[in-house]
Amino acid sequence: MTDLNTRQKDTLAAIAAADTADAVEALRVEALGKQGWISQLLKTLGKMTPEERQEQAPAIQQARAAVADAIADRKQAIDDAELDRKLATETLDLSLPAPATPKGTVHPVSQVMDELAEIFADLGFAVKTGPEVEDDWHNFTALNMDENHPARAMHDTFYFPDRDADDRAMLLRTHTSPVQIRTMMNEGAPLRIIAPGRVYRSDSDATHTPMFHQVEGLVIDKDIHLGHLKWTLETFLKAFFERDDIVLRLRPSYFPFTEPSVEVDVGFAIVKGRRVLGGSGDAPGHAWMELLGSGMVNRRVIEFAGLDPDEWQGFAFGVGVDRLAMLKYGMDDLRAFFDGDIRWLQHYGFSPYDQPTLSAGVGASS
Ligand code: DAH
């Protein structure tokens, strides 16, 4: 027994003197590890008579518990001391700027679509969308472009090999105008909507990409006339370009889905090599630039969409969103819009935290 007592005392003293976690661990293995001296003593209990065991077990168990407790306490003390040391010596400066996280930008096309939605929301227009994979009835027929219309030609358009359940040819929509038809059929009249989105044509050069963006506008009501169209376009373009001196010229034109049709030009000047919108195109140093197509909705289109053209009438317009972005923000190559070059996006993109600058509303400046 004195043996046990002495060893226990020595072990406890060694533990108390150990000053690293490793040293404590070595002592634990020495005493309580598989080959440790206490473990070996515990094993001998199994070979004893019950009487011997009864006599010796308590002291061995007590030694095991005392050593285990001392080790746990010592480990805790060493950990605490280490933490205290760190707290006393290490510093964390919370006022340092955090490392920058890479931040994406909002693409100018998305930005312009948001701006358009804001402007037209102020005028009471809702935003509608339609499918990019269209059938030829919505894309052409219902817009008064019959079977033989040249815009249906293969080289203008991407067709799919299969037809839909109604045996209609399927294609990537060539304009946002089919959303006019879909919205009239789904919601009836009256209507004030814009329909922004992607459109497709087999075109590719510096100013044409096979995919581009348009926004369609449609107003259907009982007594809409060309004056409403002109005022709406003027109000929209002044708000969009943030200039009060935007001057429009309406030129007679032809679209199958409008009658009469007008092409809308905007006056601009070249200032330091850049186009600056504003002023009459007839003023000195100015010229006209074609901006968008529009007109009074053709009665046949209203009929195709299931409404009575003697009761309902309205106007429509369609404009390239990419082109609006180029004119407002000064890019000169359309192809770069869709290259996904991060440098272009960093340069021309918008902060996701910015709001379109129209919070004061349409007409706030007048
Ligand atoms: N859909 C025509 C195009 O893609 C643009 C257009 C012209 C739309 C006149 C209209 C409109 O709604 O009235 O070229």
Could you read off the pLDDT of 118-136 as tens digits, one per residue?
Answer: 999 999 999 999 999 999 9
CA of 260 to the centre of ligand 1 (A): 13
Q: Give the pLDDT of residue 161.
A: 95
Q: Give the pLDDT of residue 363.
A: 46
Q: Give the pLDDT of residue 24.
A: 94
**CA 27 to chain centroid:** 60
User: What is the rounded distance in angstroms from the CA atom of residue 34 to the CA atom of residue 15?
Assistant: 19
Q: Give the pLDDT of residue 357.
A: 57
179 CB near ligand 1 (under 6 Å): no
Please provide the DSSP assignment of 38-53 as one string.
HHHHHHHHTTS-HHHH
In tens digits, the chain (366 residues) has pLDDT values of: 568 889 999 999 999 999 999 999 999 999 999 999 999 999 998 899 999 989 889 999 999 999 999 999 999 999 999 999 999 999 888 898 988 888 889 999 999 999 999 999 999 999 999 999 999 999 999 999 998 888 787 668 899 999 999 999 999 999 999 999 999 999 999 999 999 999 999 988 878 899 999 999 999 999 999 999 999 999 999 999 999 999 999 999 999 999 999 999 999 999 888 889 999 999 999 999 999 999 999 999 999 999 999 999 999 999 999 999 999 998 988 899 999 999 999 999 998 887 665 544 454 443
**CA 207 to chain centroid:** 26
User: What is the rounded distance in angstroms from the CA atom of residue 134 to the CA atom of residue 169?
Assistant: 9
User: Mutate which of 191, 317, 321, 323 to test ligand 1's pocket (most atoms within 8 Å of Cβ)?
Assistant: 317
- State the burial class of residue 310 (Cβ atoms within 10 Å of its Cβ: 0-12, 13-18, 19+): exposed
136 CB near ligand 1 (under 6 Å): no
Q: Give the pLDDT of residue 1.
A: 52
CA of 293 to the centre of ligand 1 (A): 5
36 CB near ligand 1 (under 6 Å): no
Ligand 1 atom 2: the closest Cα is on which residue?
A: 318
What the block records as the tokens of 286 is 């100015």
